[in-house]
């Protein structure tokens, strides 16, 4: 988790607090539920009184929990920023896509990317969040196979064109490739969870076939390079 403020302005690590509460509670499950409710209310109260700016990042650094200030052009922060850019582009794509199968998977992907970003952000921290695992990759591969049955065999390169939903997925695919390059670059300096690189690589494949799928079901023919 990234923070741009001193300790007194930092957002509490709710997950860690919940986990600590779980391990320290010996009462029945109902007590755990009560603890979680109280913690959630406390967190919402904190957010309600939190400023949207602090000015603590004005010198070109950001604060990483348990690590201190890191330059904003650090490879790790560049990778985190690219993942954020990717997630935002998928949010735009969702606005233009009406197919429920693709919409459902894009919703899954946006949540995946949020967890993946937290994993990246905790790379240098003492309190590492739960690592991003292989399950989302398996889910993506199944979705790719399902869509590929509709798309059929691809024998030529295609230009990134088509309907509104498809063109936005093509853009997200290009951003996913950029995020992958930035994560690989960060991995030369930091120990990055290998499942993150595998997921981003598979995600670009999904976004590509999903764009072809949308064009297919909308009756739009693919355009090919003229060389």
Query: Rounded to an integer, what is the distance from CA 223 to the centroid of its chain?
Result: 30
pLDDT, residue 128, reads 64
- Tell how strand 68-71 and strand 2-3 pair up: unpaired
pTM of the model: 0.77
pLDDT, residue 50, reads 65
pLDDT, residue 201, reads 98
Q: What is the mean pLDDT of residues 166-177?
A: 98
Q: Rounded to whole angstroms, what are the CA distances from 1 to 8, 16, 20, 67, 154?
A: 16, 12, 18, 11, 41
pLDDT, residue 121, reads 86
pLDDT range class, residue 16, cuts 50, 70, 90: very low
DSSP assignments along 40-84, one per residue: HHHHHHHHHT--S--STTTTSEEEETTTEEEETTSHHHHHHHHHH
Q: CATH assignment of 73-217, given 1.20.1200.10, 3.30.420.130, 3.40.50.150, 3.40.47.10? A: 1.20.1200.10
Q: Does residue 17 register a pLDDT over 50?
A: no
- Residue-averaged pLDDT of the chain: 82
80-130 pLDDT, tens digit per residue, is 999 999 999 999 999 999 999 999 999 999 999 999 998 998 887 766 666
Query: Which has more confidence, 15 or 173?
Result: 173
pLDDT, residue 125, reads 72
- Bridge partners of 7, per DSSP, are none
Query: Which has more confidence, 30 or 49?
Result: 49
Q: What is the mean pLDDT of residues 135-143?
A: 97
CB distance 185 to 198 below 8 Å: no
In the chain, list all ranges with CATH 1.20.1200.10.
Answer: 73-217
pLDDT range class, residue 174, cuts 50, 70, 90: very high
């Amino acid at each position: 988790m990234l923070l741009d403020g001193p300790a007194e302005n930092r957002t509490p690590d709710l997950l860690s607090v919940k986990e600590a509460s779980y391990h320290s509670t010996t009462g029945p499950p109902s007590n755990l539920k009560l603890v979680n409710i109280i913690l959630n209310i406390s967190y919402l109260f904190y957010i309600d009184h939190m400023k949207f700016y602090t000015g603590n990042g004005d010198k070109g650094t950001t604060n990483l929990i348990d690590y201190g200030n890191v330059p904003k052009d650090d490879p790790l922060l560049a990778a985190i920023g690219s993942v954020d850019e990717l997630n935002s582009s998928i949010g735009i794509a969702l606005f233009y896509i009406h197919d429920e199968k693709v919409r459902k998977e894009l919703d899954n992907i946006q949540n995946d990317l949020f967890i993946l970003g937290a994993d990246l952000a905790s790379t240098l921290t003492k309190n590492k969040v739960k690592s991003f695992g292989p399950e989302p990759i398996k889910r993506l591969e199944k979705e790719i196979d399902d869509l590929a049955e509709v798309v059929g065999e691809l024998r030529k390169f295609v230009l990134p064109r088509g309907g509104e939903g498809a063109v936005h997925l093509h853009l997200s695919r290009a951003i996913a490739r950029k995020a992958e390059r930035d994560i690989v670059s960060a991995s030369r300096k930091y120990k990055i969870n290998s499942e993150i690189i595998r997921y981003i690589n598979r995600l670009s494949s999904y976004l590509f076939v999903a764009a072809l799928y949308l064009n297919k079901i909308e009756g739009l023919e693919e355009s090919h390079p003229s060389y």
